[in-house]
Amino acid sequence: MKIPNPIIPGFYPDPSICRVGHDYFLVASSFEYFPGVPLFHSRDLIYWRQIGHCLTRPSQLPLVTFTPSGGIFAPTIRYHNGVFYMVTTNVTDGGNFYVHTRDPFGEWSEPIWVDQSGIDPSLYFDDDGRVYLTSTFIHEPLPEEIDPANPSWGIQQSEIDIATGLHLSRPRPIWFGTGGKYPEAPHLYKIGDTYYLMIAEGGTEYNHRVTLARSASPWGPWEPCPHNPILSQGGLHSPFQGLGHADLVKAHDGSWWLVCLGFRPYSYPPYYHLGRETFLAPVTWDDQGWPHVGDHGRIRLAMAGPHLPTVVWERPPIRDDFDQPELSLPWNFLGHPWADDGSLTDRPGALRLLGNASRLDDGAPVIFIGRRQQHLDAQVAALLDFEPDADGEEAGLTVWMNPRHHYDLLVMQQAGQRRVAVRQRIGPLTAVVASEDIAPGPVTLTIRAEREKYTFGFSLDSAEPHTLATGDTRYISTEVAGGFTGVYLAMYATGNGQASRTPAFFEWFDYGEVDEQSTT
């Protein structure tokens, strides 16, 4: 079987993986979205299903205030003596912490906070019972051995008490990488009698790469791999770019694999808008004890996958009828969830949103429930029952990168008339680019996502969708909008400066890859 990279498409960056028997578990960053740290399960490393989130309670993930691309950075998942641990950083509130569970399909513990600076924390459980916490650091003043051209970043490590999070040794620098900027994403492994330290360098952009060193001690000194970087994707000949922030796993058949983030740019100049995604590559070891990743340190389009028994999970349904007592796993809130964000009980079989005074351009606490766009070619639709009775009230769908970059397909009241409209927010510019008066009654909102554009439309009474406007994907791409996240497709409601009196009921929401929908 060939690896269908990315193995988890859409905005699922900074992957970390662990194995327990024949089961594999993977986590990814979630930034300002709640619940936090999506958790996936696989039996063959190819087919993955989301089984939950590690952070499902506000006590685990306070996001009352945050900035775009704040919140949760770079989790690591590990398993030791029957317990799963997930360690991460809340850059908005609290710093580094970890949670644990004996059942990854259930709830995780309250946070155990660790007084160690930096981001990208990782745990290693050594054979002698010692537990090491490795993270990045910013060093000031600069020690003499740090290259002044790349002065501030490095990797630090401490020994901790895993029961309390208290230090058993002071954090101290252990490696500064090979000279690339922003050495980060450290993971410590022991293979045989040798310790390996794997990091990312170059920044999470087009020059991102993975480097590695080894030592007889977890504290170094470190011998860099002679063929560093062990993974990179330089040049624009490849559809996969920015590969880095990797984690190793040994499969239950003895083979080795690496998961990493990457992105899929297109057009020229290149840009991407789905965010950084999760990729898989094979790893082999040479006679000198060094790893070789993929095809000479590259990930190709058609690489042979694991020779493990295939376990294909049932695909999530295209339509969500909102007929369950809780929202399904793909849905997220923007920031801290509030009691009035949405209801599945006000009208059984529909999701009710009631807008507050916050606008989309304000970000949280605007009423917003969204899911990641995972495919370049996708079809989105929602049936909205919303009869605004005051100017300023609106509800609809948004193609969302951040508060300054989003496209909105909405129903509103203007001068006493109900209208459907398309609004574009691109940096400091906001414009309603199309609008039409519509009669009372439910309206189906449609978004056709393609590689380089979105097409926005609507229909009444099950008629064929009528196109209102298009929007270029470029203007909500990472290169234009900035940040670390990817596009969300969200339902929202707002009173635009005052609390709304009119509930918006979403009767259903469709999301599917175009090829997938054409076969159903």
Percent of the chain with pLDDT over 90: 89
- Digit-coded pLDDT (tens) for 369-421: 999 999 999 999 999 999 999 999 999 999 999 999 999 999 999 999 999 99
The per-residue b/e assignment along 375-402, b for 16 or more CB within 10 angstroms, e otherwise, is bbebbbbbbbbbebeeebbbbbbbbbbb
Res 25 pLDDT > 70: yes
Res 149 pLDDT > 70: no
List 44, 184, 247, 408, catalytic entry: 184
Distance (Å, whole) CA 170 – CA 117:
11
Concerning whether 145 is annotated as a catalytic residue, the answer is no
Res 174 pLDDT > 70: yes
**Mean pLDDT within 468-494:** 97
Mean pLDDT over each residue of the chain, to the nearest integer: 94
Q: Band of the pLDDT at 127, cuts 50, 70, 90?
A: very high
**Those residues with Cβ within 8 angstroms of residue 188's Cβ, 6 or more apart along the chain or in another chain:** 122, 124, 132, 134, 157, 195, 196, 197, 218
Amino acid at 201: E
Res 518 pLDDT > 50: no
Q: What is the pLDDT of residue 462?
A: 77
How far does the chain reach from its first CA to its final CA, in angstroms?
A: 24
Res 176 pLDDT > 80: yes
- Digit-coded pLDDT (tens) for 465-474: 899 999 999 9
Burial class (CB in 10 A: 0-12, 13-18, 19+), 324: exposed
pTM, rounded to two decimals: 0.95
List 14, 341, 510, 513, catalytic entry: 14
Concerning whether 184 is annotated as a catalytic residue, the answer is yes
Distance of alpha carbon 300 from the chain centroid: 23
397 closest CA partner among 369, 436, 433, 438: 369
Tokens of 510: 């469709």
Res 519 pLDDT > 50: no
Q: What is the pLDDT of residue 244?
A: 97
Domains delineated in the chain: 16-293 (2.115.10.20), 319-518 (2.60.120.200)
